[in-house]
Amino acid sequence: MADDSSGHPDVLNATAQGQLKSIIERVERLEQEKSELAEQIKEVFAEAKGNGFDVKIIRKVVRIRKQDRAKRQEEEAILDLYLAAIGEI
């Protein structure tokens, strides 16, 4: 019997098929984990809101904390400059 790939170049051999299946299954598991984490994050924000915190501001704080401090300070300085230039501060 001939190798799967010799007669049909568009057919993957057994090794490639196994690798592809493994990759797809890993991505599916990670997508499921991502969905579960997103649900947990949603629950934490609901808890924060229930305790009287402003969720929009918490999201902003989380985003800011992810940034590099020097880059954030540079962006804030430029923002202040632009706002001053248009008479907003």
Q: What is the pLDDT of residue 20?
A: 97
CA dist 17 and 5 (Å) reads: 11
Q: What is the pLDDT of residue 3?
A: 52
Phi-psi domain of 52 (left: phi exceeds 0; alpha: psi -120 through 50; beta: other):
left
CA dist 89 and 78 (Å) reads: 13
Mean pLDDT for the stretch of residues 71-75: 95
The residue assigned the tokens 């949603």 is 42
Give the number of other Cβ atoms within 10 Å of residue 21's Cβ. Answer: 11
> Residue 73: is its pLDDT beyond 70?
yes
pTM over 0.85: no
Mean pLDDT for the stretch of residues 41-46: 98
The percentage of the chain sitting over the pLDDT mark of 70, rounded to a whole number, equals: 90
* Closest-CA residue to 54 (of 45, 62, 43): 45
